[in-house]
Chains A and B, each alone.
Chain A
Amino acid sequence: MNERYIQDYMRLVGSISLPQSEKDRIATYLVEKSKEKKELSKRYFAAASAVAVLAISTVLIARGTK
């Protein structure tokens, strides 16, 4: 049994493919996850900005009361 014969056998594995319906389902899931990630980044940025504004205001108020 030669190399070519083994190659022919192994080619069978090359026929394995993911059904189109499953590709579509995974793509839809990932798009949703990506949107969630984007939304989470926005919220994180908004929260971080609020904390920064609050910290600066506190410092300014503290200086003003001295």
Chain B
Amino acid sequence: MNQQHTKSEEEIKELVDKHSSLIFRIAYCILSNSEDAQDAVQETFLKYITKAPEFNSEEHRKAWLIRVATNISKNMLLFRRKRETVDLSDIENIGINEDDFETFELIMNLPTKYKLVMILYYVEGYLSKEIAEIIGISEDAVRKRLQKGRELLKKEIEKEQSI
């Protein structure tokens, strides 16, 4: 059931303040571009104020926002002509230090399906079971993606360090 009441100005501001950076991180990791990620954040909240169901907990609301942001970002990717790579001039606007660019680039270059579960697990602190529910895959698939993601990142880091 959709939420029947319209959100007040205060509710909207509080919601954006509380969850926008989380949604932005997810969107950025999929889109690798801050402008597109900002559009995805806006679309996610717009969907929230028009179509969100009623939530029984804050965690439920957060999981819904992550799911919707992931879908919106993946859809935006489909309409792109070429694959975007992280830009040095773009990262300073999003809180990443220039000195960390190479490391950040290694993470961002991982395939989206591995990167997404790794971010939810290592950065947002979700358990494999919770990630499975949020992105709609089995717990076993989450564990496999985590394993593969770790292996890929390890390989890239070692390659970088040997140069």
Query: B-contacting residues of A (Cβ < 8 Å)?
Result: 1, 3, 6-7, 9-19, 22-23, 26-27, 29-31, 33-34, 37-38, 41
Contact = CB atoms under 8 A, between A and B. Distances in A.
Label chain B's interface by main secondary structure.
Answer: helix
Interface of B: 6-7, 9, 12-13, 16-17, 20-21, 24-25, 28-29, 38, 41-42, 45-46, 49-50, 93-97, 100, 103-104, 106-107, 118-119, 122-123, 150, 153-154, 157-158
Contacts of B107: 9-10, 12-13
Contacts of B95: 15-17
Contacts of A10: 107, 118-119, 122-123
Nearest to B48: A30
Label chain A's interface by main secondary structure.
Answer: helix
A22 B41 CA distance: 10
A17 to B, nearest CB: 4
Most chain B CB atoms below 10 A, which of A17, A26, A37? A26
Contacts of B123: 10-11, 13-14
A6 B150 contact: yes
